[in-house]
Amino acid sequence: MTVKPTILIVEDEAKMRRLLELNLGEDGFATVSAADAETGLKLLQNAPVDLVLTDVKLPGMDGMEFLQTVKRLNAALPVVVMTAFGSVEMAVDAIKAGASNYMLKPFSLDEMRLVVRKELDVRRLRDENRSLREALHQRFEHPNIVARSAKMQEVLATVERVAPTNSSVLLGGESGVGKDMIARALHEKSRRASGPFVKINSTAIPENLLESELFGYEKGAFTGAVGSKRGKFELADNGTLFLDEIGDVPLPMQVKLLRVLQEREFERLGGTRTLKVDVRLIAATNRDLRAALEEGTFREDLYYRLNVVPIDIPPLRDHKEDIPELVTLFLARSAADSGQEFEGLTPEAMKLLMAHHWPGNVRELQNIVERATALAKGPVIDVIDIHLDPPRGRPPGSSTAALPEGMTLEQWEDEMIREALRRAQGNKSQAARILGLSRNALRYRLSKIGIEDEPEKDSSG
Ligand SMILES: Nc1ncnc2c1ncn2[C@@H]1O[C@H](COP(=O)(O)OP(=O)(O)OP(=O)(O)O)[C@@H](O)[C@H]1O
Ligand SMILES: [Mg+2]
């Protein structure tokens, strides 16, 4: 505390008042003093007081009444009462009425110092506690992002913290949880907000075009390159580049990405000029990249470059308390689109939404609300307007029989891999496709089972 704490002294005996003023002043406190309670109250309203030291026996309004009035005005203000020796009951009454401490007259100046210090410390700690608690309860808000739940608040708190930095961020989370949305929020809250936000989705682009999309090309770099073109890295200069589905970037491209991340420079395809860019990178994946590291389908060095700050967005089933507000948001959007007003959902309809498992997360909720508004006959959405996607896989309630009797997950996985190979007649690329695995991931699993990676059988013959 750099500002001197101020103590209000209320004491009718002039000598005593003066003594207290002098000693507290010497101890580094600021003092204001009054000879009666009425003046004391006036002073209290005009000066920021940190502690009140008051006599109980006062002319006019007595000390007890004064204490009660002070507490009514400011319950957090510590009040120390001074009572004559032999009137301990009075002291007890004062404590009951809210005094934080008492001193029996005559007291030593040391004792007085001790009591005053202690009460000020208690108050300071209480204030610190409160501001800490307030900081913890600080609500983070972002337009169009619903984040009432603690889980989403945590996400927004991290966004707030890392947005102004240039650190790379790796967004994780299932499909539809809001990775795109958070990537944009990071950009909008950064100093690059006035710069471009450029997105590239590696799964949406054929592998052979990904490089030219990222780095651009010069005229004649390949057949069909009739002019030169800037890549996403160049387009994102002074802004943010969002690499969506980073887990699907093929290994050779990963090497090239790593170089740009390390050196912040690159050449266009077929070009010789080295280009430098100032780009903040945000990557997203709905796959477990750590598993991909183990399988050797994702480079470790690239992973650590990208994963400077990880933000994992929880699936909707883990923050269902956000559903009502999300529904309100999506209803308002539908209303804006269709010009039709919606009041909300019936309690039964809301119950239905709260009980759903939401495999498609917020995107699924958004679709279902949209569909409901199209079907609703009036301003209130009811159960019949809500068409949830049937649960995938096993029906609910049969959750215990996940694996065939007596089989471990690993054995079952091996069995699935063998089955896929059988169906693909030994063609590993095809087997990988059947399993939804990359060629590398399959190779890794085959080596675990002990199937040699012999040259591929030709499936065309
Ligand atoms: N907390 C939220 N508040 C408001 N809207 C949200 C929230 N979370 C997600 N959405 C909305 O849900 C939709 C899906 O989100 P988004 O596209 O960001 O998901 P994603 O994680 O990128 O999905 P994918 O992995 O399929 O790319 C978007 O329309 C987004 O605005
Ligand atoms: Mg996305």
Flag whether pLDDT at 84 surpasses 50: yes
- 67, 44 contact by CB (below 8 A): no
Phi-psi region of 90 (alpha: psi -120 to 50; beta: other; left: phi over 0): alpha
Residues paired with 85 in a beta bridge = none
- 282, 171 contact by CB (below 8 A): yes
Q: Which of 82-91, 149-158, 174-183, 399-408 has the lowest mean pLDDT?
A: 399-408
The finding on whether 199 has its CB within 6 A of some atom of ligand 1 is: no
Tell me the CA–centroid distance for residue 361 and ligand 2, in Å. 12
- 231, 216 contact by CB (below 8 A): yes
**Burial zone of 279 (CB within 10 Å; 0-12 exposed, 13-18 middle, 19+ buried):** buried
The finding on whether 366 has its CB within 6 A of some atom of ligand 1 is: yes
pLDDT score of 225: 85
pLDDT score of 400: 47
pLDDT score of 398: 45
Atom of ligand 1 nearest to the CA of 322: 1
The finding on whether 145 has its CB within 6 A of some atom of ligand 1 is: yes
Residue of the nearest CA to atom 23 in ligand 1? Answer: 176
The finding on whether 282 has its CB within 6 A of some atom of ligand 1 is: no
Confidence class for position 412, pLDDT limits 50, 70, 90: confident
- 206, 390 contact by CB (below 8 A): no
pLDDT score of 452: 65
**Burial zone of 23 (CB within 10 Å; 0-12 exposed, 13-18 middle, 19+ buried):** middle
**Separate counts of helices (H) and strands (E) for the chain:** 18, 16
Mean pLDDT of 342-346: 93
CA dist 202 and 241 (Å) reads 13
pLDDT score of 404: 57
The finding on whether 370 has its CB within 6 A of some atom of ligand 1 is: no
Mean pLDDT of 316-334: 95
- 447, 453 contact by CB (below 8 A): yes
Helix (H, G, I), strand (E, B) or coil at 399: coil
pLDDT score of 187: 96
Q: Which ligand is nearest to the CA of 361?
A: 1
The finding on whether 156 has its CB within 6 A of some atom of ligand 1 is: no
Tell me the CA–centroid distance for residue 366 and ligand 1, in Å. 9
The finding on whether 181 has its CB within 6 A of some atom of ligand 1 is: yes
What is each CA distance from 420 to 294, 442, 443, 446, in whole angstroms? 22, 11, 13, 12
Flag whether pLDDT at 285 surpasses 90: yes
- Confidence (pTM): 0.61
Whether the bond into 106 is cis, omega within 30 of 0: yes
pLDDT score of 11: 96
**Helix, strand, coil % (nearest 5) of the chain?**
50, 15, 35
Atom of ligand 1 nearest to the CA of 177: 21
Mean pLDDT of 382-410: 64
pLDDT score of 368: 95
Mean pLDDT of 62-66: 93
CA dist 143 and 413 (Å) reads 44
Tell me the CA–centroid distance for residue 287 and ligand 2, in Å. 12
- Pick the more confident residue, 404 or 300: 300
Tell me the CA–centroid distance for residue 55 and ligand 2, in Å. 69
Atom of ligand 1 nearest to the CA of 173: 21
Flag whether pLDDT at 406 surpasses 60: no
* Substitution site in 149, 174, 180, 311 for ligand 1 pocket (most atoms within 8 Å of beta carbon): 180
Atom of ligand 1 nearest to the CA of 175: 25
Residue of the nearest CA to atom 26 in ligand 1? Answer: 175
Atom of ligand 1 nearest to the CA of 171: 21
The finding on whether 338 has its CB within 6 A of some atom of ligand 1 is: no
Over its C-alpha atoms, the chain yields an Rg (Å, rounded) of: 35
Tell me the CA–centroid distance for residue 253 and ligand 1, in Å. 27
Confidence class for position 397, pLDDT limits 50, 70, 90: very low
| CB contact burial 338-351 (16+ within 10 A = b; e otherwise) | eeeebeebbeebbe
The finding on whether 184 has its CB within 6 A of some atom of ligand 1 is: no
Question: Which pairs from 132-136 meet CB under 8 Å and 24+ separation?
Answer: none
Confidence class for position 91, pLDDT limits 50, 70, 90: confident
Residues of the chain above pLDDT 70, percent: 91
